[in-house]
Amino acid sequence: NAGVTQTPKFRVLKTGQSMTLLCAQDMNHEYMYWYRQDPGMGLRLIHYSVGEGTTAKGEVPDGYNVSRLKKQNFLLGLESAAPSQTSVYFCASSYRGLDYGYTFGSGTRLTVV
Amino acid sequence: AQTVTQSQPEMSVQEAETVTLSCTYDTSESDYYLFWYKQPPSRQMILVIRQEAYKQQNATENRFSVNFQKAAKSFSLKISDSQLGDAAMYFCAYRIGAGSYQLTFGKGTKLSVIP
């Protein structure tokens, strides 16, 4: 099925470990986004990309890095995980210039212990 | 900075009844878009309805409709004939019309449907 695929769906990390979350979309969307969702906080933008090879910071970028080497993929990296990064992470994508909202992935639940 | 406020952390409705979820936003822009997203327990974010600020007519999608009051910066969601499957978190979201496609979300309203 067409859409946004996130891997993994669940992960437990120890403080200080690193990991990469992968987001892949097959809709030829130009824009891609990483959000985190915390209880009572809604969704907050971490980083986003408006095209292959470009990235930009969102509202809460500290502690995260991203890369978009291919149009269909958007990677979110945690270099040294902290308990404050325990959250549900959502990837989303959208067309440029059209306004049908985002297409979201199903989320990754990350726990840092 | 744009902000989106959902003042009702939780709400409940009897099955088959109507419920309205509130959302207000703060912006200095004249061209923008507003959305309601539904997040059931499965965690998947589902677009419910969208509204362009330049359109005066309120958007409607089946049992879902909005009351868009541009001057008051209010964007409420009305769910008619509530069903058990409507139980979910509902998020109001905003984005400006040009130059940025970032969505700003409210903190959400948890809707329970009572059989």
Could you give the dihedral angle defined by the CA atoms of residues A41, A42, A48 and A50, in that order, rounded to the nearest 10 degrees? -150
Say if CB A108 and CB B59 are below 8 A apart: no
Interface contact flag, B44 A50, Cβ < 8 Å: no
Mean pLDDT per 10-residue section of chain A, whose length is 113 residues:
89 96 94 93 92 93 96 96 97 79 92 97
Q: Residue window 24-53, chain B: list those with CB within 8 Å of chain A.
A: 33, 35, 37, 42-45, 47, 50, 52
Model confidence at B95, pLDDT cuts 50, 70, 90, reads confident
- The tokens of A47 are what? 């980083």
Residues 76-95 of B with CB under 8 A from A: 91, 93
